[in-house]
Structure 1
Amino acid sequence: RLAVTATADTRTREDIRTELRLQDSAEFVASFARPELALSAERKRGAGHKRVLELVAARPDRSGVIYAGSRDGVDKLAETLRGEGVPALAYHAGLDKNLRAERLEKFLEADAAVMVATIAFGMGVDKPDVRYVIHADPPASIEAYWQEIGRAGRDGDPAEGITLYGASDMAWAFRRLDGRDVDESVKQVQGRKVRQLYAMLDGAACRAAAVRRYFGEEGVDACGQCDLCLGTVETVDATEAAQKALSAVHRMGGRFGRVRLVDHLLGKTKTPSAFEAGLSTFGVGQELSAAGWRDLFDQLLFDGLLRENHEDGYPLIGLGELEGVKAVYRGERRVALRKGMDDPEPGARSSRARKKTSGSSAATVIAPHDQPLFDALRAWRRDEAARQHLPPYVIFHDRTLAEIAAKKPKGLPSLAAISGVGEGKLERYGEAVLEVLNAATV
């Protein structure tokens, strides 16, 4: 017997071995790396269809796959794209079998076509030149994410995986899970997978590295090309809080799950033992809310600094890569946490807030005397984006270029102080930006 799968975490592989009675067989696990894929994720506003249209319009004459969570969503999104001149096809299980086959053939043969589909589309699809996969709605798990994103770039050339997500998507995933007629233990496992997916999407660690660690790889380096590595996501320094969390896990002996650990840090454990109440970490975590601590624990899991161990189906949290943990303790390794999803949904703001934020953002308003420099920076960004085959916003957002044009930094330290210029971007683009500034001010 031979069992073969492309995306299975440690627990799933063990389930396969048990069900097929392969306990004594050899197991071969290759790397899950996909270096040709540049990953990104962004929070959704509304249904996200407008943003999908913008993403597709920025990638003309390329083949792509767009995943939506429902048949109705697929039909509406495909119709919207066609209305803007995009050669979009709809594909889902509610269509006639012959029509699905016809559309699949068109997609495979076209030099540039966009397939809008549910997860019914994917198995057996072998189109090597798919240049991007966009999730208009997030997938169900990291396994599903890696399978679906992996339909891009099979020819080895650069490709993109872009995911739109929101708090409402996560809530819907849990509602759907609660409605399933399955054992509670299965719901716990699936619920953990949902949390892990959204921790990766809304996290601050390299996306590709987080996925590879999820599948059990060790010694994983950052990819250097996802949106997080490139510094396009706003984060906060959570190193001190991470030190407290790691210390709490160590002092509690790796015998508890995240709910108990969060209660411990907040000092809210019901009837704590004298031993626990006497620990230096009991109640020291007042700087974060319970939700904030849960986010941080998820982040530490994806950073490889913590690991979940399953005993009787309950995930217990223990320390992960010890050298990394020691580096955090010593302050040699920083932990960044992405800012929380606390922005109100569109339509939920007051009329005053809508008036204040309507029109162009204040950050992108350019003073007349700064306009030539701003235009020069945008021209440089356009050329750099074309050279890397990336959309310009991945290099720098307009608001960042506007601030650079206004403040005219003289060196790398002052450039680093500008919003949107993280360490990765400073190293990658800092000297080039300064050259543009010097040339424009000569």
Structure 2
Amino acid sequence: MDAGAKSAIVATLAAVALLVGGVQVAGVRGPASATVFQFSAAGDFGSWTGFTASLTELSMTASDFAIALGDLSYGGESEQAWCQEFKRYFDNVLVIAGNHDTGQPPFNEGSINLFAAHCPYSLRERMVGEYGKQYYFDYPGGNPLARFILVSPDLLFVVDHGEHYDYSAGTPRYNWTRDAIDGARTAGIPWVIVAMHKNCVAAGDHPCEIGTDLFNLLLERRVDLIVQGHTHHYARSKQLALSAGPCAGIQLGTFLPGCISDDGSDGQYLQGSGSVLVIAGTGGRDIDPFNPSDPYAGYFAAWQGTQPANVGKGVVSFDVAPDRLSVRTHLDGGFTDTYTIEGGSRQPSPVQDFLVVLGIVGAMSAGTGIVFVRRIGNVPKVPREPASREGPSSSDERR
């Protein structure tokens, strides 16, 4: 959808809301409260100068908490020392494992069990699951605006006797994730955010490691936001969604334009139209190039290049309100990206199309104005190709 049409829809809905005031439509849930909170996220930190640069960026945000998306110290210092350094800049950090935190080769790079002990779950809100590996929580407590679901697909936990976290369709971990998403919808929580370390759709060094089953589940359920690390750069996707015809599911090594519900070129998305993926492997390691020739590159709307002015490290910050999710990068280079997801009803309504009959005075002296409003999620979107922003290759890094 072009920016003009999208703005017209938003303006129409706003006008209807102002005119009808307290009129309630069956099946539509309004904002629960005026609460707003902020969180930040990044992965792939290490223990060196890039780590310090990212922590400095994080300390300048107004975040209530931060999520460390795995690959934490890379063995540069002990788990305790790494957590102490993090907390020296920003105290309220939550962790999820990456492949460098599980005891896999190269060895002695850290144990998620020790990271979880020294960077413990620090929120007042109830946590369900196993912290550091697979858990969720609703935030803020009492009347939550978002459910955060953190998972560990395709990680082999040598520190736990070699257990492999498999999220293939029908497995217990797949079902756990599905139920956590559905539970948030049933509870009427406005936003669902899923975070993990590894990728499926990315335009860097990594293939689809988490498996298409899990990624397609997230798209099928239209979770609002997917946040990952692993690939050492920042990239934001177009809005992605499954549909009966043009996109039955993301396929390995293939770009399917029909999976794009909004191209994101104007930095504005509509909630319920699909999922937005953010890759934030910007926590401290050298920034890697975005590969515009990768089959998955067409799924992305914005990305960080590797020109000297763009290679900054840092975090991505998310402001969460009942009716809007606003996102911006905090990187120490010249690259910036901002976008918003405008909120909408998540509850299924028996009335997909409805009429609002209003008495209008002034220009419409006939006395009655009729406004036809179609559910935003049904508006078709036209995908566009991304602009190229590639840069030269950076130095080799441990992934």
What TM-score, normalized to structure 2? Answer: 0.28
* Structure with more of its chain in strand, by fraction: 2
* Structure with more of its chain in helix, by fraction: 1
* Higher RCO (CA-CA < 8 Å; seq separation 6+): 2
